Each structure stands twice: as C-alpha cells, then as structure tokens.
Chains A and B, each alone.
Chain A
Amino acid sequence: MKLDKNLIPGFLREIGKDGDVCISSRIRLARNLENHLFLLKASLKEQEEIIEEIKEVINRLNNFQFYGEEKLDEIFLNYLLERYLVSPDFVLNKNKKGVFIDSEEKISIMVNEEDHLRIQILEGGFSLDEIFVRINELDDKLEKELPYAFSEKFGFLTACPTNLGTGMRATVMLHLPGLILTNEMEKAIKAARSIGFLVRGIYGEGTKTIGSYFQIGNQFTIGMKEEEIVENTKNLIAQIVNYERKARDYLLKNLKNEIEDRVWRAYGILTNAILLNSEEAINLLSTLRLGVCLGIITKISLITINILNILVKRANLIYYLKKKDLNEEERDYRRALLVKKVLKKTDETNE
C-alpha cells in the first residue's frame, strides 16, 4: 500500500537540505497586542475579544484556515500537536484560543497560547534562512495592522521574560541516533547548553525524547539581532550535523554487524508485529531511518518513514482510520497492520 504524502504536513513531505540528520526547521515569533492585558490578567471575555480582533486582520490578509473553540476538542488538539502545528501549552491551557493554519500546513499562528500571538513557519531539512525571510515578511504584514506591544528597551513585549526582545526562537528538529549509540549525546547536549542553546524533546519544552529526535534552538532572545540568532543557531546545528555524521561513519566502520542487526531487527518487528504502540513504532522507525541513511535498507524512502512517523501517533491514527471509538488494543492492532502494509508494499514496488 502506498500512502499519499498529502496525509502529512507540507514541511515533512520533502527531504530538505541535510535531510539525513535534519528533519525540519522552525522559527517562531512571540507577539502581544498593546491594547489588551496579557493572558495572566485577561478575562475570558477579553480573550475572546483578542481572538476576534486578530481574526479580522488575519482573515483579511491571508488565506488561512481558522480553528476556534468549537473545533478544538481533545483529539483535534492532539492531532495538531502531533503534526507540530501547535504547542503542548496550547493543548493544555484553559484560555479561549484559536489557531490559523495555511493550506500547506507549514505556517501556524496560535492565538492565546502564552502570548496573544505565536507565529511559526516550518520547513523540511535545514532551512532557517528561507524561513527567516518568510516569517519576517509575514510579521511585517501583521505589524501594520495589529498594534504590537513594543518598547525600545525591551523589544517585543512578551508574557514571559525568557522571550523578550526579538521574541524569536529558531529551532531545528534533529535525528541523532549516531550520537546516542556512540554515547556522545550527553556531551553534545552539555556543549550546546553551555553556549546558550536549548535541547529538548520531540514537542519542545518539557517533553520527553523518543526515537533519538531532539529539538535544538536558541535560548536567549534579547541583546542580539534576529540575524545573529539565526546565524548562531545555524553554526551550532552545522557542527552537530557533522558530529552525527562522524558518529554514523564510525558505527558503519567499526560496528557494522551490530548496526545491521539492529536495523534488520527493527524492520523485522515493524513488518511482522501484530500489536504496536505508538512509542515503540516511532523508536523502531527511527532505527529504520538510520538504516536507510546508512544504505543498509534501500527500498524504503525517508518520505515513507516521515508519513508513518505521523500516522502512527494516537490522534493522527484515529483521524486516518476515521474511527474515534477504537480502544487502545484495537488501535495497536490497526497501527501494526498499517505499518506492515506500507513497509511491505514499498519493499515490493518501489524499485
């Protein structure tokens, strides 16, 4: 069975620059409106007014889909989180909230997350430069219509002091199985932290790491220009990409049998298991991805792995199957079935 790549967000549909290590890049801007209290102090009524004001402007300027309260139930919120289009805080907070998403699923604007506005753009691979140009344009366009809270000294005023100044975070999602397997990851994390970078789990702040995926981005937002933040982040990421490739080379040269064994075992489970939970699936797919990058497995594409990585997650599986009433075991069964079908078929036909 071949899956349509339009099942997943646009930024995961292509393998970008340095795609063997960099899954995707993201820049987000935190913005607030001068004429409203921040979310700590804004009443529910004021929160609704904030949504209406922002909606009026964004609907006029862009062709985005808006999802408001009535659409954002628990499953749909998690569906968006699993697609990296909203944050864990957006899923959990009790604010009146809404989110704008473009038709390609590369841009999302959260309203009333921690700030009135959280604007983000995602792209495949290592592509902070392209994103920076585009998010700047979008931000300039919005700034002409929305009264951004701004001060000369502190820059864009944000609810949390850790975002002050530029309000900008530039992050790259990295796949680092080589550093994990060679026990170098701890060292890399320490080095990155010591020079002002955040290393976090797959959905960002406070989330755990699975499948050797890490988000790395700038910690500091004030005292430097946006361009410097992008440049510094790019430099660090380039070094980590190098480091990861060296680790993979080492594994292939010195532990060839062990690595091949690991990869084929993962393939064996993925193509034969009767029940698979989502974490196990993501971990095994991660090993499979390493196998594809190392040339051990040649008949499965990285795009196929990207698609499965999204569809095996709980809420996305529910949406894909269009069955909200499956219990956990039924889901594990349907998940295993889906993975099996996709990987086996890819095996036979993708010559």
Chain B
Amino acid sequence: MDEKGNKREIAICEECAKKRGVLESGKTLNIEEILKIMLKAKEKEDKELKCPRCLLTFYEFKKYGKFGCPDCFKAFEEKLIPFIKKIQTTIREKEEEVFHKGKKVTVGVKRSLLLSEIKRLKMELEKAIREEDYEQAAKIRDMLKEKEEELKKDEIG
C-alpha cells in the first residue's frame, strides 16, 4: 500500500508482474510501472495487428497517421471505429459511432475493377498487334474474353 492506498485495486498481481520481469522480487508495484506494463501489452497487440495486403501494422498506422491500402480498413476495423470517433467529431461523449452518411459509389467496386482490367487488356492487345506479337495477342485475347464473361455474369447477378 502506498500513501494513496489504491494499489490493490489494480488487476495485475505481483506474481504475474514478477514473471514478466517488470518487478524485481522484494519490491511492490507502483502505478507508473503498471501503466508501463499495460502500455507495453497494448503496443505488442498493435504490432501484431497487421493488414494482410500491405503489411502495415496498427502500430505503424498510429505512428504515421496514415493507412497503407484499402484493405487496412477491414483489418483495423474494430480499433478504428473508436479512433475515428475521437478524431472526427467535437461531440465525443455522443453515444453513437461515426459512420459514412454521404454519397456512395454507383458502380460496384468489383465491377469497376473488371472494367479497368478490361480496358488495360484492350490496350495491351492493341500494342501486341501493333508489334506483330501474335502469340502474345492470342493470350491477351483469351484473358479478355474471360474478363468480359465475368462482367456479363456480374451484370446478370
């Protein structure tokens, strides 16, 4: 017990703290050390949370203040929601979370990706024909067909 008398309230016992090597035997815990332990644990958690596509960790996101790719949002979603509420409103005590209410994209992401892929392939096809690389052109034509079929299926579905 220290002079403030609140040491026993904290949910980390001395046994565990000793195991982690934070506390040398014979000493008792103090508030600063406990905060340090908790911070370390949080840091470890943030370093382990990683976006599978761009490999940015949540720890790095907090360090740079920037995302690495569109998939980061799914990877970090849970931690992101309170974070966004904190930085994106002055009314922080408000109960509800802060989500997008504005305009939406009209073309689905999958569809627009297909469209841009088809466009790219068409340009490559033209190039291959221009350069008289007919083997390559045939390959591209097959890929193009595949993508266009996928697009058609997407339209029906």
Contact = CB atoms under 8 A, between A and B. Distances in A.
B10 interface: no
A10 to B, nearest CB: 26
B69 A161 contact: no
Contacts of A143: 105-107, 112
B113 A223 contact: no
A164 B84 contact: yes
Contact of B65 (A34, A153, A160, A165): A160
A221 interface: yes
A252 interface: no
Contacts of B77: 153
Given A56-B119, A146-B116, A157 B67 contact: yes
B36 interface: no
A68 interface: no
B73 A147 contact: no
A348 to B, nearest CB: 53
Given A144-B106, A157-B70, A220 B88 contact: yes
Interface stretch (A35-43, A265-273, A325-333): A35-43
Given A222-B100, A223-B89, A223-B101, A40 B56 contact: yes
Interface in B60-105: 64-70, 73-74, 77, 80, 83-84, 87-90, 98-105
B12 interface: no
Interface residues of A, number: 47
Contacts of B80: 154, 161
A350 interface: no
A195 interface: yes
A155 B65 contact: no
Residue of A41, A147, A164 with highest tally of chain B CB at under 10 A: A147
A38 B56 CA distance: 11
A182 interface: no
A161 B84 contact: yes
Contacts of B98: 222-223
Contacts of B143: none
Interface residues of B, number: 39
B66 A147 contact: no
Contacts of B100: 151-156, 164-166, 222-223
A2 interface: no
Nearest to B104: A150
B88 to A, nearest CB: 5
A35 to B, nearest CB: 6
B99 A223 contact: yes
Given A153-B100, A161-B87, A221-B88, A40 B105 contact: no
B115 interface: yes
Residue of B56, B64, B102, B119 with highest tally of chain A CB at under 10 A: B102
Contacts of A220: 88-90
Contacts of A164: 84, 88, 100
A145 interface: yes
Contacts of B103: 136, 166, 225-226
Given A154-B100, A161-B65, A225-B101, A41 B73 contact: no
B54 interface: yes
Residue of B66, B70, B98 with highest tally of chain A CB at under 10 A: B70
Interface string B111-144: 0110110011001000000000000000000000
Interface string A192-221: 001110000000000000000000000011
Nearest to B123: A56
Interface of A: 32, 34-38, 40-41, 53, 56, 114, 136, 140, 143-162, 164-166, 168, 194-196, 220-226
Given A158-B67, A161-B88, 16 more contacts: A37-B54, A38-B68, A40-B66, A53-B120, A146-B112, A148-B105, A154-B80, A159-B66, A160-B67, A162-B87, A165-B88, A195-B90, A196-B90, A222-B84, A223-B88, A223-B89
10 contacts: A34-B109, A37-B69, A41-B54, A151-B70, A162-B87, A162-B88, A164-B84, A165-B100, A195-B90, A224-B102
